[in-house]
Structure 1
Amino acid sequence: MNRDRNGLIVAIDGPSGAGKSTITRQLASILSYIYIDTGAMYRALALAVSRAGVSADADQQVLEICRQSELAFVRENGVSRITLNGEDVADLIRSPEISLLTSRIACKKAVRELLLVKQREMGKGGGVILEGRDIGTVVFPDADVKFFLSASAEERGRRRYLELKAKGEAVDLDQTVAEVIARDLQDENRDHAPLRQAEDAIAVDSTSLSIGEVVDGMVQVIEDRLMIAGESAWK
């Protein structure tokens, strides 16, 4: 651990629907760490592009929209929520349409480089947990602890289906699973920073595990790493 940091840098990567957001949020609360949802940053930019009516293929226009978009995280009742130009969009960026558009936006090298600078600035002081798809491989390859969280495509699709259904949306299970698989293919095969597990990341398959079981296991790993570093997990 870098002694100039105020705590560890924890990276959690994995495909869509693996439970990264829920688990990272709980870990951050338990450890009193700052939670940085990098996926939400890309989703917010995708929402901005969608609202502008610009095609994802219009690279220059997409990049200009991203440059003009102000992103920030605010805490509301202990929960970190993302804002786009001052508007809370945390509930607007989880639709299937935005999910697919996000993957098309996130594969653009210029967009990723734009957000990379901000993500590193947010996390460089330590005491942070970042979740996304390339945290441990690109954003913070020197992170103190790295996890790669996954689950079967069928299970991730089922979770997403139940989540959307609970919100009152008209969804089809088979279609939702198909969308998850399509998102995986886009993320794994993009030219710039494709989704992959860092060599030194701890693989966690949550297919048949509860959120609590995953969180407990991760907390133990982080506590062990802090003990080795001579630090306390509880700040």
Structure 2
Amino acid sequence: MPLVVVAIDGPAGVGKSTVARRLAARLAVPYVDTGAMYRATALHLADHGIDPEDRAAVATAVESMPLRLVLLAGGAQVELGGERPGERLRRPDVAALTSRIAVHPEVRQRLVALQQEFVRRHGGVMEGRDIGTVVAPETPFKFYLDADPGVRAERRHAELVGKRGGPEPGPEPGEVARELAERDARDSSRSTSPLQAAPDACRIDTGSLDPEAVVEVMLGEIQRRAARG
């Protein structure tokens, strides 16, 4: 039986991670958070004092970076130097650095190769920004999730406040909206693997749908496309 590979792309705040986890569970295949790989790369560069604007230094560091994508219970897990980075990937400096280092072709080439090798062996539901266009363009099961910028900002703000969990105030909603707009601009305008929907991707507006409803839409589309062969 051929391995199932599902590509889910879209900007931040559209619910990709939640939907991808649930869809992977329904399909009984690994969930692959490609964003965690970019955050792990940013963590590695930050810990080694690499200037994110120095392309040559970034390329050298990424080439020798001890990063792996391994299959464990619950899906694919990132290992950096033989350890799982865990909550270190959520550090504010790492989050701020991630989209800046993702513009470098050398970073994307290294991580895309790891992602492609993983799904070649295990299949999976992959979510990111270039899955359907670069990582797995051959899969028939492609989706592009989107939502109104205001809805996305509200979701992202709630997520950040929920993760903080302490007495410190979270970011202002306006600040979150500005950061999302800046990230959208970077992701969509970069020369290598820009954020865009694959021509044959099924587009879903998640603004008025809860995660389970989105999963049901995706399962129906997967069944239809599988039946077409």
Cα distance, 1:173–1:136 mapped onto 2, change above 3 Å: same
Distance 1:96 1:153, change over 3 A: farther
Find the counterpart in structure 2 of residue 33 from structure 1. Answer: 29
Letter in 1 for 2:222: I
Matched letter for residue 92 of structure 1: R
Aligned length: 224
Equivalent-residue separation in structure 1 for 2:150 and 2:223 (angstroms): 32
Partner in structure 2 of residue 11 of structure 1: 7
- Kindly indicate whether the alpha-carbon contact (under 8 Å) linking 2:68 and 2:114 is maintained by their aligned counterparts in 1: no
C-alpha distance in structure 1 between counterparts of 2:152 and 2:192, whole Å: 24
Bigger shift: 91-100 or 143-152?
91-100
CA deviations on 1:34-65 (whole Å, 9 max, x unpaired) are 22221211111011112222210112222232
| CA separation of 1:96 and 1:210: change in aligned 2, threshold 3 A | farther
After TM superposition, which residue ranges in structure 1, 4 or more long, deviate above 6 angstroms? none
Q: Residue 74 of structure 1: CA displacement?
A: 5.1
Q: Please say if residues 69 and 114 of structure 2, whose CA atoms lie closer than 8 Å, have aligned partners that are also in contact.
A: no
Give the Cα–Cα distance (whole angstroms) in 2 for the partners of residues 84 and 125 of structure 1: 20
TM-score, normalised to structure 2, is 0.89
Aligned CA distance change for structure 1 residues 152 and 69 (closer, same or farther; 3 Å)? farther
Q: Tell me if 1:181 matches 2:181.
A: yes
CA offsets per residue over residues 62-90 of structure 1, 9 Å max, x none?
A: 223222232324535x3654332233224
1:171 aligns with 2:167: no
Partner of 2:151: 155
Structure 1: segments with no counterpart, 5+ residues? 230-235
Identical columns (%): 38
Corresponding letter in the other structure for 2:25: S
Structure 1 residue 96, shift from structure 2 partner:
5.0
Change (3 A) 1:79 1:118: closer
Partner Cα separation in structure 2 for residue 97 and residue 132 of structure 1: 20
SS at match of 2:87: coil
Q: Which runs of 5+ in 2 are unaligned?
A: none
Question: Counterparts of 1:80 and 1:104 in 2: how far apart (Å)?
Answer: 24
Residue of structure 2 equivalent to 1:108: 104
Question: What's 2:216 paired with?
Answer: 216
RMSD between aligned residues = 2.0
Q: Which amino acid aligns with 1:194?
A: P
How far is the alpha carbon of 1:19 from its aligned partner? Answer: 1.1
